[in-house]
Amino acid sequence: MKVGIELARATLSALCERAAGGHEVVITRRGVPVARLVGVEADADVAERMRDLAVDLAPFGCRPTMHPVKVLDYARTAILEGRLSYSARAALDAAGAPTVSPKGAPVSDGWRVQWLADEVARLRAGGER
């Protein structure tokens, strides 16, 4: 859901309820996204998926206490090098890689690996997840 900054200011309480319900709210200024509002549970779910992925990658030196950027980097490397003992698709699922494009079309595993590489690069550059 996208809302303008003025509407967001006027309806912040309702938007927080929506985010707490699992929806993502993108706040825009003059049509350009400037902020994202997500519920805490959504972030906790991502953190849990990262810990689970780190456990699966333990044979490669990954630890559950590592920063999510490092976990994603381990996953990307393991997938690209074909070193995983389980399916790469399961690793992509655990990392939260989308299964459909922003337009709603199904995507290939190659597209999902590229998404993972882009996510690692963005997080390394200091971008928010």
Q: Which residue range forms the structural domain that includes residue 56?
A: 41-124
- Residue-wise pLDDT tens digits, 83-111: 665 556 666 777 777 777 777 778 776 77
Q: What is the mean pLDDT of the chain?
A: 77
Can you give the pLDDT at residue 59?
76
Is residue 7 over pLDDT 60? yes
Count of the separate structural domains present in the chain: 2
pLDDT-derived band at 46 (thresholds 50, 70, 90) equals: low
Kindly state whether residues 45 and 103 are assigned to the same domain: yes
In this predicted structure, what is the pLDDT of residue 127?
Answer: 57
Of 19 and 123, more confident: 19
Domain co-membership, 88 together with 71: yes
Q: Are residues 30 and 45 in the same domain?
A: no
Quick one: which of 56, 51, 49 has its CA closest to 78? 56
Residue 71: pLDDT above 70?
A: yes
Instruction: Pinpoint the alpha helices (H) of 32-95.
Output: 40-56, 68-80, 88-95
Are residue 88 and residue 117 in the same domain, yes or no? yes
Is position 129 within any domain? no
79: left (phi over 0), alpha (psi -120 to 50) or beta: alpha
100 shares its domain with 63: yes
Helix, strand, or coil here: 28?
strand
Alpha-carbon separation of residue 5 from 19, 22, 33, 101 (angstroms): 16, 20, 9, 27
